[in-house]
Structure 1
Amino acid sequence: MANAQAATVEKPPVYLPPDRSEIIRVALVGAVTGAATGLLAWLIGRYFIEPVFCRTADSAGICSASGNISFYVATVTVAILAVVALARFAIYRPLVVAAAATASLWGINNYLGRLSWLEYGLWLTLLFGVGYLLFYWLMRLRSLGWSLAVALLAVALVRWLILL
């Protein structure tokens, strides 16, 4: 009798299948994160870094790097808010999704900076949306160890592709 019950026990799936509403939520959070990062970076650079640090010649280093500094501050700030949004939507492993997407797109402003503001915003929106979807999909693996290993590999691959 015990053998018959043991034979019918199924192993849990390796991958947790997402539903359509989760995919849409993650894509929206990623897209809003990208758009908000670009907007917040511009606001920080324009209304904080330039007025405070670009008044004297002594701070020329900070002033010349104001675009990068403001983008990095905005990226971290918006990523923290994205973790909160993903957690409120009950997305599986929200911290890892946001951290991996942020790490993979870190410094993307150096490549998009030559575009017009509209193209810059659209590319940030698209790249962050796709990045959040990619790492959301990778975090659906049941094993945390495998998820983290595959996510680290994906971050390295995306960073390598960006540097090409």
Structure 2
Amino acid sequence: MANDYLRDAGIKTLGTRIRRLFERLNSSVTEVYRRELDFEQRWFALGMLLNDHGPMNSRDATKMLGQSHVAMVQVVRAMEQAGLLERKIDPVDARSKILHLTAAGSEQLEKVSTISRIVDRAAADLLAEAAPDFLKQLDALDDALDRRDFADRIETAFAEKGLNR
């Protein structure tokens, strides 16, 4: 990009650049899913998790997907309204609900999987062209943050500057 302020700013705008990259990738995938299937891309991860692992409570799904509780609640509600998912009382703990794909949800995920393979091919092509080691680097960043989260790293940087709060 010519005259790209964010790129020129370097590390100062790292988070914003990552968000911009995500939005550029995600908006294209979202458009394809909506156009082809009337399906929201943000439903994909939970749908595939339930498809692959079977019914589970939202707490376990939230943990397995590494999403916030708020985000999970929003996705569950939207998928339920679309008729793709239903919540049933947990036979072991009546206070808890188990998430189940509906028959329509399972059928829709089969269609989504077909589109997803095409999207995966385009993503693999992009990575091969621009960043062949990107997934390894992404894993390394995740691993480093698992060892020591970013908030702790920021606090250490404050301390090193004598700015303890």
Q: Aligning the two structures, in what range does the TM-score lie when normalised by the shorter sequence?
A: under 0.3
| RCO comparison, higher one (Cα < 8 Å, 6+) | 1
Task: Give the TM-score normalised by the residue count of structure 1.
Answer: 0.27
Q: Higher strand fraction: Structure 1 or Structure 2? A: 2
Give me the TM-score of the superposition, normalised by structure 2: 0.27
Higher helix proportion? 1
